[in-house]
Each structure stands twice: as C-alpha cells, then as structure tokens.
Structure 1
Amino acid sequence: MSVQSAFQDEAERIDNVLGHIRNQLRAIGPRYTGDDFTEQMLDLQNEQRRQRLEVAYKEPYFGRIDFQEPSQLSPRPLYIGKAGVAHESTNELLVIDWRAPVASLFYAFSGGDAPVAYESPDGEVEGTIHLKRNLMVRNGKLERVVDSFVRGQEEESVTDEFLLYRLGESKDNRLRDIVSTIQQEQDRIIRTEKNKAVFIQGVAGSGKTTVALHRLAYLLYRYADRIRAERMVIFAPNRMFLDYISGVLPELGVGDIVQTTYAEWALERLQKEVRLDEASDTMAYWFEQPRSREEMERAPGRIKGSMQFKQAVDLKLEQLEASLLPQQPFEPIEGLVLLPVAIREWLITDYSGEPFMKRRERLVSRLKRWLESEWKARRYTDRKLKSKANAKLNAYCKKIPSFTAAQLYSSLLSDEAAAHMVPGGIRSATVKGLKQNKVQPEDLAPLVYIQLRLYGLDQPVYDHIVIDEAQDYSPFQLESLKLCQRGSSMTVLGDLQQGIHGYTGINSWIEMTALFDVGESGYFELDRSYRSTMEIIDFANRVLGTMGEGVKPAVPVFRSGEPVDVEEAASNSDRLERIVRTIRDWQNAGSYRTIAVLGRTAKSCQEIAGRLATEGLEAVLIQSKQEAYGGGLTVVPAYLAKGLEFDAVLIADADSHSFGGNDAKLLYVGCTRALHKLKLLYNGTITQLLAASTDAHS
C-alpha cells in the first residue's frame, strides 16, 4: 500500500471513530443536580466516562499494530490510545487503552519475524506482528503516519523516525506525557508489579519522571479493584516542579493523586506543631559560595539523615517503651491491688501493635475501666474513698511518660548516643530552635519518624508512593515514608550524576535499596537521553569526566543539532552585553519557545535579570520559593533548574570562580537542561570542568 493511500485510509478511520465518540458524549446528557444518592453515583460514573471520552476526542489513538494469533486467518488491526473506546452498539473495541495487556506489544516490539507474546488475564497469548504504525493526531486531524515495521518489507528500519519527530518539537512550560513514544525499557518499568519498591537510576532526559507518572496511571488501571488514586502520593523537590508536571496525569485521565513536597507532608504529619526556620536558607548556604566535599559529608543533613542516627532514635523509642511498663503495683484502695505483671500483659499482648502513645492512651483507659469495674464488683459507695482512688489513679498515670515528637527529639539530642554523632553546636542550636517551634529541613525526617512511631498515621496508608529526585533524599526520609505503607509499593527515581545536594542526599542507591528485604525491591537503569541533541549530551558527559559515580554516562538518541558554543567575555560588562545579544538572536530566530539563562548564584541571576529588563527583554527571575514556571524567557540559578528543560540554555558564568572542581554535577545539570541549543559564557579563567569539553575559549 502506498504512503498516500495509507494516510487516506487512516484519516477516514479517524473521522469514523470521532463520530462514535461524539455520539457517546451526546448520549451522556447533562449533569445530575438532585439529592438521590444512587443517581449521584451514576452521575459520577458518567462524568468519569465523559472525561475519558474528551481525552480520546482530542487524540483518539497514536499507534496501530496488526496482530495475528495462530487461530486467526488474517491479522487484526489494533489501535492504541490514551483511553479505551468501544462501539456504542456492538461494544467492539475501536481503541484499546495503552495500559491493556495487548497494548504492551506496541511498546515491546522492535521488529523481526519472530513470534511475540503478551500476558492476558487468561494466560500467555502468542502471535505475529504484521505492521507497527505510529500516527500523529491533533485536534481530530491526522497529521503524520509512520510505519516502523511492515512484515516482508526489505527496506532499512525507520524505527526512530516518529520518536525523533516528537523530540524535535519545541518545549512549552509543562512536562508532556510520553504515552505515544514510550520505549521498551521504559514500558518494562511502567508495567512492573505493584508490590515492589522500584528504583530507577535515570540519566538526565531519560524520561524517568514521566515513566513514574505513567506507572501511576498503569497501576490504577491494572489494580483498579485494590488501589485508589487518593491513596497515592507524589513527592517532588519543590512546588515549581509540581506545577511543571501538573498536566501529565490529567492528560492520562488520572486525578485525585496527592502531590506534595516532603517538607509540606512532614509538617502536616507533625500537625504543624513546628515550622521551618524561615531565617535559615539551606540551599543558599550550600550554593551561594563554594563548599568542599568534606564539609558536605559533615553537614547536619548527612548526619541526621543517616541510618546511624535512625538507630539512635530507635534506641530512644525502646527506652520509652520500657518506661511505659510500671514497676510498682497500682493500689488505689487499700487491699485492692493491680500487679505490674498484669499491666505488662495488657501492653505486650493486647496493645503490642499500637503506636507508643496510643498504647499509653489505651493503658490509661484500661486502668480507669479496671478501677470502675472493681468499684462496682465490691459494691463500694463511699464518695470520698472514690475521690481518693481517682486521685491515686491520676498520679499513677502521670508516671507513665507522655511525649510529643518534638519533646522526645529534644530529649534524644542530650543523650550520649546522639552526642557521639551530632556536634555540640548543632545539637544546642536544634534544641534552642525546638523551644521556639522552629526546625531545619534535616530535622523533619527524625521528627516525623518519631511522630509516626508515637501516634501512628493520621490517614489511610498509601497504596503507592512516588519519590522524584530521590538522590537528594536521605535514607531516614525513606524510612519515615515506609511507615506509611503496609507493604512496599514505591517508585523511587533519580540520578546520582545530578546529586547536587551532597549535604543531604545519597552517594549510592545501595543506601536506599538496603532498606528493603530481598525480593521487595527492583532496580532499573535508564541510560538513554531523549531530551538533548547528541552534541549537548556528549559535551555534558565530558563535563562529568571520570567522577566514578558507578552509573553509566548518558547515551543520546541519534538526533543531531548545533555544536555547543563556548565564548569568552573580555569583562563582566562584555559578558552581560553578550547575554543580551544572544537572547535577542535566539528570540529573533523564532525557533525556541522556552529560553533559560542559568547563573551560578541567586545574586548573579539578579544582576542578569536586571540587565535584561534594562534592555527591554522581559524575563522571569526564578527564586527558591517559586511556585510556578511560566515558560518564555527565564533567569534561574543552576541549582533551581534541576528537573526543568528548555529549548535553549545559556550558562552565563562558566568561569573558574563560579564553577570549581567540586561543581561538576551542578554544571552537568545546567548543560542537560537544553533540548536543542546550549551556549556557555565566561569572564576570566574558564572553569577547569570544561577543559576536557572544549579546546575553544572564545
């Protein structure tokens, strides 16, 4: 079949499917506004169906495979889309949901004549693929048809043509779904079973964030009878990043998933009894001037986030548990005695699974009931005697210790076990802050861990947890989140090569995978970068050099672009002038929808933004507490750009003063923000990190 004929056939089918979707949307009718509960539930189902159909109407499907089972006389075309669509009369599937078992063939098949198979609810189904086709549909119109496999065709494979077409598109201010271009290695992660902690080491641009979001959508589809969206949670590094990824899940027809930061979540669990010290800007401290690796290793976040510190917390909790067991008998009335052995039995047997303070609460209630029961059984009537008995009960209960998380944490910091790990100055500053209800970010993990051990979770357990940029988490943070699940169902993703927060994060994934029993976790590596051109990725890889992080360098897809530019400025004034000139040139070219100027520090970015404003160039200056990214022209410190991506990136101060020998990861992060164009400027001596990346200093 000719290309033109195939396009015409597919265009006609698109029109036909859109007609069926319109009919079904009209049939749903208006929303129900009455009070009948049954009708309300039906209306909710109709609304969910309406939303799925509206998603399908914009892009009914993006892929087609012609699959033939051995029992069939001819192959059957299967169309894959974001939402399944059935014929309104016959229930024939017009579009298959991308999460359905058979749809896995579309992602897993990469060519060849060998039989293929997929796992259906009834077992393995084998067959052969005759055609694999990608389709681009926008606003109901077919724009592109690409056949990546035709059985019997002798021509060279064009498997990556559609992917490269999508990767070459300009970027806006939101992360997009990748459901039409999910690659085989990504699909394998997405479809991993629910009851595992899945760790993803993914290089910059490997799609690990979108893979995690698609995994949530898949799990909701695959385990619809066991998990719920409102019992899922996504942890992102900051509010701006949450805004950036906010459009992916709605496009996949998924809503109601909690999206937050660890700090916000922890403060909520602590019932806002403490607050972060606003006067202390942790990121500014570590990034606004060079810091040695040794200093980072001794940082409070490294100490308080370690498993050694968790062991000190566990020891303190064990001591608390021991103190819950009274050593003296309870004798509220002469001759009426409750021995400690009986109280221990209640605690150890009846309440053993309860959090500490709930066990205390239950014990106090049990003592009250025991006294009341004995009073009635012995037919006491003396009110004064009862008053004295109740006073003795209150005095006895006060001897059973009661703590808030902050109180126990403060007490811990004065213990010998903590003194051996935490320097005296840090301990005293932490205790002083706790008295004012102020804490540092590194205090949140031990505090919320103590809170959960003392009082338990104040909400249903999570069905699934996603942690993005997890290389910047401490093991103790992960331990605190484990308390919020009955089993292990997590997607933990990050990139050790982008671990710029060395004052709190991990150096190896083993620090986290070791927290799970064998069989409870899985580890995947994504080393292909789909974001940047080959020139940009090769340049960024050379920036990292031989850091020995134990992970593979990024492998770019075959998408060539312009060379990376490195320019020397004669002075700071000349540097600022070159920034202005470059931005004007890029904007006039009209090829880039999103442009970023990356500075080393917030102060540097303020200077750049001020100069751009003077020149009439409207730029958004991103600061540490930014909640949204609006696209267009942006000025941002490199350490706040992680997770974002832009059509073109200008790194404004690639000199030796701004980027020292310990800043390779930070410069790597900056370089890998660029999709299509990367330029670096420096004034003075070029950073030694670029010595292996370029011979041109102008």
Structure 2
Amino acid sequence: MQQELDRERAYHDTCRAALARMVEGAVEHVVTGEDVSASGADAEVLGYRLRSRAKEMRELPKGPLFFGKLDFDAGEHAGQSYRIGRLRISEEPTAPPLVVDWRAPVSRAFYQAGPDDPQGVAVRRRFGWAPGSHGDSADLTGMEDERLGKGESGTGTLLTHEIERPRVGPMRDIAATIQPDQDDLVRAGLADSVCVQGAPGTGKTAVGLHRAAYLLYTHPQRIRRSGLLILGPNRTFLSYISEVLPALGETGVRQATLGEEIARHRATGTDSDRAAGLKHDPRMAEVLRRALYAHVSTDGIDALSLSDGTYTWRVPAGALARIVEEVRDEEPPYGVGRERVRGRAMRAVQLQAERRAGPQPAAWTRRLERSRAMSGYLDAVWPKVRPEQVVAELLTDSGVLARAAEGLLTDDEQRDLRWPRPPRSYRSARWSTADLVLLDEVAGLVEHPEGYGHIVVDEAQDLSPMECRAIARRAVFGSLTVLGDLAQATTPWSARSWGTVLRHLGKPDAVVVPLTAGFRVPAAVVDLTNRLLRRLGTDVPPAKSYRGDGEVTIRPTDDVHAATVTAVREALAHEGSVGVVAADAQVPAVRAALTASGIEPANPDEPGARVAVIPASMVKGLEYDHVVAVEPAAVADAEERGLHRLYVVLTRAVSRLDVVHSRGLPF
C-alpha cells in the first residue's frame, strides 16, 4: 500500500508540473495571438478569448488535482486507467490526458458503476486528501479500492469522511462525492428543464451548481453566447456558494438575487403585508397588461397627411384605425407594436406613391416615417410609455386602477393596493421591492428582455407567481434547473405544489425529481425535523439520512441567554463551525449575551468564522456543524409560515443540534 501511495504521489507531481506548463502556455498564446494577421474584429475576439483563458488558468484554486481513478478491463476502454479530477490536465493538447475532467463521458462510470453493473470498470479507487489541502502531493494520505469486477461494493470510509467533513467557510464542491441519483440530474441535457424537490441535506444546491458546470463544459459556445445565470435568495447565500464554480474551473458566471436581476431602481419604499401580497398575486399580470394597453386608442383618430415637399399623401382615418386594431390583435411587445403601426401606415403611403410615380428610394421612406406628422399620429394612437409611468398611474389613480382591475380585484383589494401617499410624479416615486416586480412585468410587455441559455433557480419554493414570471421571461428560449423544498417554503405567497411554480415559470412539463436521502443532516436531527414536517401540511416525503451519528440536545431553561452561552461554549469544544440561530427580533440580545461572555460572534456573511449569529430569516441555504436554535416558539410565531421557517432552522445542523427554550416546543 505504501508503494502504491508513493506512486500516486509521484503521478500527482507529474500532473502538477503539466498544469504549470498549461498555465504558461495559455499566457504565451496571448502574446502570440497579438501578432496574428486578421481583421481588427477577428483579432479582438481572438485576443479576448485567449486572455480570458489565461486569466481562468491563473485563477484556478489550489487543491488536489485528482480524487479518483478508474481501471477498465472490459468495453471500449479495456486496459486503460484514468485519474478523475476537477479539470483536464495533459502534457500536450493532443496528448492523452493525465487527468480526465469529471464531466467527460468516460468519468460517468466513476459515479454510476456498481457491482451489478460495473460498466467495464475493474477497480474504482478513491483518494483521501488532508483537509484544506492546497494540492501538495504529501497531502495524499490514503486510498480505497472497490473491485467492482469482483462484485465488491459499499460506501468506503474515505467517501463518508469527505461528506461528513466539518463545515467551515464557503460551500465546497461535491465532484468527488456525487451520488448516482445526483449524477443523473447533473448530466441532464441542455434543453431539459428539471425541478429538484430536495429534502434538507440531499445536496440539491450542489446538484444545481454542478449541472451549471457540466453544461458549461458540454455546450461551451451555446452557453457562453446566451449566458448562464445562478439565482439565489440573498447575498449571504450567494457568498456562501461563490467558490463552488471557480473550484470546478468555471468563472465569469453571473450569480445574483432576483431583485438584483430585475432592479430598475433601488428599493426604498415599503408595503403593508396586504399590499405586498397583492402585488405578488398572478392576477396583477392581467391588471398590468390592461393598464399598459389602455394607452392604445383610436378614439378621435384623424386622417394621416405626409408631405414630401412636392406632394401630400393621405391615409384615411378608417384605414389607420384598422392598422392599429390588427396590430393590437397580434399581441406583440408594446414597443414592437408601435413600430409595426408605423411600418404599416408608411406602407399605405408607399403604395400610393408607387401607383403615382413608381418605387421610391429608401431615403424618401426613412424621411417620411420619421417625420413630425408620423410621430404625432403614433403618439396619438400608440404612445411611448415607460414602465414607471404605467405602474405609478395604476397605484395612484383610482380610476385607472378600477378600469384595469375590473372583474379581477375587489374594491377592498384595490384600496389596499394603492399608494397611501402618492408621489408628485413617477420620477419621485419610492419603489418597494414588490413594485420592482411590477415594473419588470410591464418592461417585459414593452420589450422582451434578453434571455439566458440556462438559469439555475435555488430556493424556488419561495418565489411568488409574479417573480416566477420575471424568471420565465428570461428563459423563454432557455432551460431551467429549479431547486427547492416545499417544506422550507416561508413566504406568504409560497406555492403548495411544484406544478403551480413550474406553470408560472413557463415550464409546466419539467420533470420533478425528489431527493430524499442525504449524508449532510445526521439521522438524529432528521428524526426530530420529520416530527415537525408532519405539522406543515405539505405533500413532501419524509427525509432520510445515511448517517447514524449526530447529536440532539434539548435545553429547557428559565434563562435563554445564559443557556445559549453555555451551549456555544460546549460546541466550541468540538471541531467545526457554530451557527446560533434566533428569531430576527431576538438576534441583538443573543449577540449581546455572547459578546458579554467573551465570545465574539461573526455575521452570517463572514465565511470561515467559528461562531456566527444568524437571523432565522437569513439562514436558508446555509449549514453549520453545530447549530444552536434559540427559542423555537419565537421563530414559529414571528411570521405567517413560522413553522416552515423553524424547519429550515433545525435542518441547518450538519453534526449537532442544541435547542434552547423556555417556552413550549412546536414539535
């Protein structure tokens, strides 16, 4: 075994030297490419691509270069051995690879082969590396072989240790530990939209990020041309997952919240709960459409007269009205409709001119269609409007709202929807977060936004119908990876079924795949949270855990803050991160108690901190080795779907969970 370990370390040294030459070669190609004779545009594109590649190679995170090995004794790869790593490494571009990218077709056997279906694999080897290794060969500490050709199977200790390794710092990639059901999702085709209903700890977020990396590898030109977007619920979550794609060799992927993606303004206004709920209601889509197209009118339309200096051409009012109605019936984007009306009115003039004097030059057409008379006609029947103008009129003018909401919203709902203190104009409006969703809806009606080739949507169970529509507009010609857990749905407008969410996302035929078993949350914690799950009224299967370890400690007390300090001190005796989670209103007092005791807690957006205090509203998607849940009843009482929020809090624990309470426990 020691001799074999030494051989693998020597091989890793060879790979390290080859990678260094690859980085040097990428830099040299930039210099060489600057002297290539080509058009200016071609040279600029080539230079951009070469510089981008060199930058990506230089910024690759340091770490072990391979985590697995496949020895084949049958099939098309019989007699071959391949090391599997996070990126392809070769001594020359045309030479056989020293390390095969985990996304390559041959690598799939590493995740899918088993004793019942070895797929030509004689031996699958997993390598054990020292935690936090930067890729020094001496950090290769062990390895385990599964002789699949002889029927051996089972989860080895290296795989278990890697999955259960303490969670300190940002989220890690799972390229070395992807399970077969996860691999099927990761390698789904570019045209396929999939929805993952993932219980806590099943790796749904990691699956989404690895699918993004897989699509970038498999369809690089199509994805980079149309773009790939990762949507997360908040900046803290995006910070937590930010290092996963770079670790897999993929940089330059846009990661944003939906608010950042759609923001036309900073959100400085606030809404009542009732108003916010109405603005997220799917009925608002039709209300906004009516409000926008109410600006289109043929009332009092006059004949159009256009003069070219020698002759005046006239289009009767009736013909103009028919043009407007025909275009409106075609339902194009509002801005496109205005230009269609212009083009068809101009065509009516051209036909007259051709009958009188023959075809006219293009300059003649451009001059007349941009004339003051044509612009005046368009402004009368199909005026230019800004989304801000439409939304502000709707939320301030009761008459405009009544006409747009007729048969859709009740009088009480219309009253709740209107701004209590209208601004002097839309230019001085203070837009709320929900208003930004309305603005995006109208902007999408005026002109379709530029879409993405693929969008990964995490924590999708919390999206409102109107937020789903904003995403759908950006995925009309692309696909989606939808990730979430209905049991963790905490917003007032959360859907009760994935069918509803997928319909609003424009992907009603997407396959919903459940992930119920995971390694992250230990069985002791899962047993507790499954008791709470039964009270949520959500059609979600109970979670299962492959881990028989984990600790749950219930701490009844009359002094919650003192008991919290004690729980944190005991947690610090163990390895790993400690997350102290409390209802948002209780966070300042909890933080003060810890600080007074000599423990300096960090904020949740400080990755790598040993102890962090996190508001319950921000903990979704995060994970800590040890979670101290402070006063669960306060978390449950803090909001309409507080029990769902509590379910989120309790399932953040990777190894140990402490529940500190002075009130009755909701579970």
TM class, shorter-chain normalised? 0.7 to 0.9
- Superposed CA deviations along residues 64-97 of structure 1, whole A, max 9, x for unmatched, are 122234467x532122111112232860121111
Please state how far the C-alpha of 1:52 moved relative to its aligned partner: 4.4
Larger displacement relative to structure 2 (11-20 or 434-443)? 434-443
CA distance in 2, matches of 1:432, 1:24: 61
Change in Cα spacing, 1:508 to 1:160, as seen in structure 2 (3 Å) is farther
Change in Cα spacing, 1:235 to 1:54, as seen in structure 2 (3 Å) is closer
2:544 maps to which residue? Answer: 555
CA distance in 1, matches of 2:582, 2:206: 27
Task: State percent identity of aligned pairs.
Answer: 25
1:667 maps to which residue? Answer: 646
Pairing 1:91–2:68 present = no
Change in Cα spacing, 1:491 to 1:17, as seen in structure 2 (3 Å) is same
1:565 maps to which residue? Answer: 553
**Which of 285, 293, 308 is the equivalent residue of 2:283?**
308
Larger displacement relative to structure 2 (79-88 or 334-343)? 334-343
CA distance in 1, matches of 2:429, 2:161: 54
2:579 maps to which residue? Answer: 596
CA distance in 2, matches of 1:619, 1:213: 29
2:180 maps to which residue? Answer: 184
CA distance in 2, matches of 1:633, 1:183: 31
Pairing 1:276–2:255 present = no
Instruction: Give matches, 1:477-556, under 5 Å.
Output: 477-501=467-491, 503-515=492-504, 520-556=509-545
Give, as a single letter, the amino acid of the residue that structure 1 aligns with 2:512.
Y
**Which of 563, 576, 580 is the equivalent residue of 1:578?**
563
2:364 maps to which residue? Answer: none
1:648 maps to which residue? Answer: 626
Give, as a single letter, the amino acid of the residue that structure 1 aligns with 2:286.
Q
**Which of 83, 86, 89 is the equivalent residue of 1:82?**
86
2:303 maps to which residue? Answer: 329
2:361 maps to which residue? Answer: none
Please state how far the C-alpha of 1:406 moved relative to its aligned partner: 2.9
1:218 maps to which residue? Answer: 214
Please state how far the C-alpha of 1:374 moved relative to its aligned partner: 7.8
Q: How many equivalent pairs are there? A: 628
**Which of 388, 405, 419 is the equivalent residue of 2:387?**
405
- Are the aligned partners of 1:596 and 1:633 in contact in 2 as well (CA < 8 Å)? yes
TM superposition outliers: structure 1 runs of 4+ over 6 Å:
368-379, 516-519
1:68 maps to which residue? Answer: 73
- Are the aligned partners of 1:644 and 1:673 in contact in 2 as well (CA < 8 Å)? yes
Change in Cα spacing, 1:426 to 1:207, as seen in structure 2 (3 Å) is same
Change in Cα spacing, 1:52 to 1:351, as seen in structure 2 (3 Å) is farther
- Are the aligned partners of 1:191 and 1:215 in contact in 2 as well (CA < 8 Å)? yes
- Superposed CA deviations along residues 630-671 of structure 1, whole A, max 9, x for unmatched, are 532111121211111111111111347965896321211111
SS in 2 for 1:15: helix
- Are the aligned partners of 2:458 and 2:484 in contact in 1 as well (CA < 8 Å)? yes
- Are the aligned partners of 1:189 and 1:215 in contact in 2 as well (CA < 8 Å)? yes
2:443 maps to which residue? Answer: 451
Pairing 1:338–2:338 present = no
SS in 1 for 2:422: helix
- Superposed CA deviations along residues 281-339 of structure 1, whole A, max 9, x for unmatched, are x8xx7xxxxxxxxxxxxx44444333333233344556556x37985532457984213
- Are the aligned partners of 1:312 and 1:417 in contact in 2 as well (CA < 8 Å)? no
Please state how far the C-alpha of 1:604 moved relative to its aligned partner: 0.8
- Are the aligned partners of 1:467 and 1:492 in contact in 2 as well (CA < 8 Å)? yes
Please state how far the C-alpha of 1:12 moved relative to its aligned partner: 3.0
Pairing 1:476–2:461 present = no
SS in 2 for 1:514: helix
Change in Cα spacing, 1:630 to 1:14, as seen in structure 2 (3 Å) is closer
Change in Cα spacing, 1:659 to 1:193, as seen in structure 2 (3 Å) is same
Change in Cα spacing, 1:395 to 1:130, as seen in structure 2 (3 Å) is closer
Larger displacement relative to structure 2 (363-372 or 100-109)? 363-372
2:105 maps to which residue? Answer: 101
CA distance in 2, matches of 1:398, 1:28: 55
Change in Cα spacing, 1:181 to 1:657, as seen in structure 2 (3 Å) is closer
Pairing 1:609–2:591 present = yes
2:363 maps to which residue? Answer: none
2:661 maps to which residue? Answer: 682
SS in 1 for 2:631: coil
Change in Cα spacing, 1:516 to 1:238, as seen in structure 2 (3 Å) is closer
CA distance in 1, matches of 2:529, 2:415: 40
- Superposed CA deviations along residues 39-86 of structure 1, whole A, max 9, x for unmatched, are 9836843762674487497322111122234467x5321221111122
CA distance in 1, matches of 2:95, 2:412: 66
- Are the aligned partners of 2:197 and 2:485 in contact in 1 as well (CA < 8 Å)? yes
1:125 maps to which residue? Answer: none
- Superposed CA deviations along residues 367-413 of structure 1, whole A, max 9, x for unmatched, are 5798799899899xxxxxx99x9775554333124322233333363
SS in 1 for 2:658: strand
Change in Cα spacing, 1:41 to 1:421, as seen in structure 2 (3 Å) is farther
Give, as a single letter, the amino acid of the residue that structure 1 aligns with 2:141.
E
Give, as a single letter, the amino acid of the residue that structure 2 aligns with 1:668.
Y
2:121 maps to which residue? Answer: 129
CA distance in 2, matches of 1:39, 1:309: 46
Larger displacement relative to structure 2 (512-521 or 472-481)? 512-521
Change in Cα spacing, 1:391 to 1:134, as seen in structure 2 (3 Å) is closer
SS in 2 for 1:423: helix
SS in 2 for 1:438: coil
- Superposed CA deviations along residues 542-572 of structure 1, whole A, max 9, x for unmatched, are 122243411111111224123x1111112xx
CA distance in 2, matches of 1:611, 1:424: 46
> Which ranges in structure 1 are unaligned for 5 or more consecutive residues?
117-127, 286-298, 380-385, 691-698
1:122 maps to which residue? Answer: none
2:242 maps to which residue? Answer: 246
Instruction: Give matches, 1:380-395, under 5 Å.
Output: 393=374, 395=376
CA distance in 1, matches of 2:169, 2:494: 28
CA distance in 1, matches of 2:578, 2:247: 25
- Are the aligned partners of 1:347 and 1:359 in contact in 2 as well (CA < 8 Å)? no
Give, as a single letter, the amino acid of the residue that structure 2 aligns with 1:413.
L
1:163 maps to which residue? Answer: 159
1:145 maps to which residue? Answer: 143
Please state how far the C-alpha of 1:29 moved relative to its aligned partner: 5.1
CA distance in 2, matches of 1:23, 1:621: 41
1:695 maps to which residue? Answer: none
Please state how far the C-alpha of 1:217 moved relative to its aligned partner: 1.0
CA distance in 2, matches of 1:677, 1:229: 45
> Which ranges in structure 2 are unaligned for 5 or more consecutive residues?
359-366, 395-399
- Are the aligned partners of 1:303 and 1:422 in contact in 2 as well (CA < 8 Å)? no
SS in 2 for 1:512: helix
CA distance in 2, matches of 1:440, 1:256: 30
Change in Cα spacing, 1:232 to 1:567, as seen in structure 2 (3 Å) is same
Change in Cα spacing, 1:320 to 1:109, as seen in structure 2 (3 Å) is farther
Please state how far the C-alpha of 1:160 moved relative to its aligned partner: 4.6
